[in-house]
Amino acid sequence: MSIKNDLFLRALKGETVERPPVWMMRQAGRYLPEFMALKEKYDFFTRCETPELASEITVQPIRRYGMDAAILFSDILVIPQAMNIDVEMKPNFGPYLPNPIRSQKDLDRVIVPDIQDSLGYVMEAIKMTKEKLNDDIPLIGFAGSPWTILCYCAQGQGSKNFDKAKELCFTQPLVAHALLQKITDTTIAYLKAKVAAGVNAVQVFDSWGGMLSPTDYQEFSWYYIQQIIDALKDEIPVIAFGKGCWFALKGMANSGAAALGVDWTCSPQNARYLTGGKITLQGNFDPSRLLSPPTEIKKMVTQMINEFGKDRYIANLGHGILPNIPLENAKAFVDAVKEYKG
């Protein structure tokens, strides 16, 4: 079946488009009252693990705003869960991993799981979501980067500097690399299963890549992301997004990724310069800027598109949408892109 609105897929291929496609990272989330209504009834992992709920949450923002792509509601931490690492989601705290991986002994209990067995519920959610979307727009599947997953696995929770994760890498590099490889192998199998279930593109989120120096980034993060891209790029477009990783954009541009996400600390001109102008870029509106008045948001979005250029470009935020964004401001962002005349 062909997708009716294939603007997003055409932009990924680098084709000439009438306007850029638009979606927002974390668009299926806490800024929507319809999402909060479900959040009050069901805990976090129940929402992830129940295909009916995950698919409903995925399409909520599409019904409201009509983005050009949907992204499956899930979480990057379903991967460590499947790998025999306990993950809890604590209210007003965030992810908590009670038994962090900090030694070879800890690593010995980490498995590379059977994906259908441990994460089959995600594939069911994809199939249900595809039915609801009715081939109107593409569906994006995603995973966290191996380094970002390691950050949580070694730290045991969120952190401003992920010092325990870095300590593992720098004092026990063999353990760190073995864990990263297990995460990578699991992630490749997971994303391939998502492709088989029907997603139209995948994104790898390296949320904590910017915590590493450029040299350490190559060793502990990009080396593993590259394996994921290599394993999937012939089957499906892969978007790589490293927050705070502008320093690696030049190398990323030659990776075989279909597109690269850019955060708001890197200007459109600089991102185009670093990537040689030959790859689709996605981003990079500061999520906090959605707190500006709607008229100002529209002006800034138009300027952002003008600076990136309408082709080989996907309008998005530079990271996930914040929970306190007014509904009309999110609408102004999406509408500004849809109304764009280049």
- Strands of 272-331, DSSP E: 280-285, 313-317
**What is 233-262 written as a DSSP string?**
TTTS-EEEEETT-GGGHHHHTTTT-SEEEE
Is 220 marked as binding a ligand?
A: no
User: In whole angstroms, what is the distance from residue 217 CA to residue 209 CA?
Assistant: 7
**Amino acid identity, position 259:** A
- 78 Cβ contact partners less than 8 Å away, ≥ 6 residues apart: 48, 119, 122
Do the beta carbons of residue 282 and residue 11 sit within 8 Å?
no
Count Cβ neighbours within 10 Å for each residue of 230-258 and write b for 16 or more, e otherwise: ebbeeebbbbbbbbbbbbbbebbbebebb
At 181, list the tokens.
């490889």
Q: State phi, psi for 310 to the nearest 5 degrees.
A: -75, -25
Is 30 marked as binding a ligand?
A: yes
Q: Which of 119, 107, 169 is nearest to 143 (CA)?
A: 119
CA–CA–CA angle 184, 242, 49 (5° rounding): 55
Is 45 marked as binding a ligand?
A: yes
Do the beta carbons of residue 15 and residue 6 sit within 8 Å?
no
For the chain, give the number of residues: 342
Is 152 marked as binding a ligand?
A: yes
CA–CA–CA angle 69, 74, 76 (5° rounding): 110
Is 207 marked as binding a ligand?
A: yes
Is 28 marked as binding a ligand?
A: yes
| Beta-strand pair 280-285/313-317 | parallel
If one counts every other C-beta atom within 10 angstroms of the C-beta of residue 202, the result is 28
Cα–Cα distances in angstroms (integers) from residue 39 to residues 9, 34, 54, 162, 322, in the given order: 31, 9, 11, 28, 16
Is 29 marked as binding a ligand?
A: yes
Is 135 marked as binding a ligand?
A: no
Binding residue numbers: 26-30, 45, 75, 152, 207, 319
Binding residue numbers for substrate: 26-30, 45, 75, 152, 207, 319
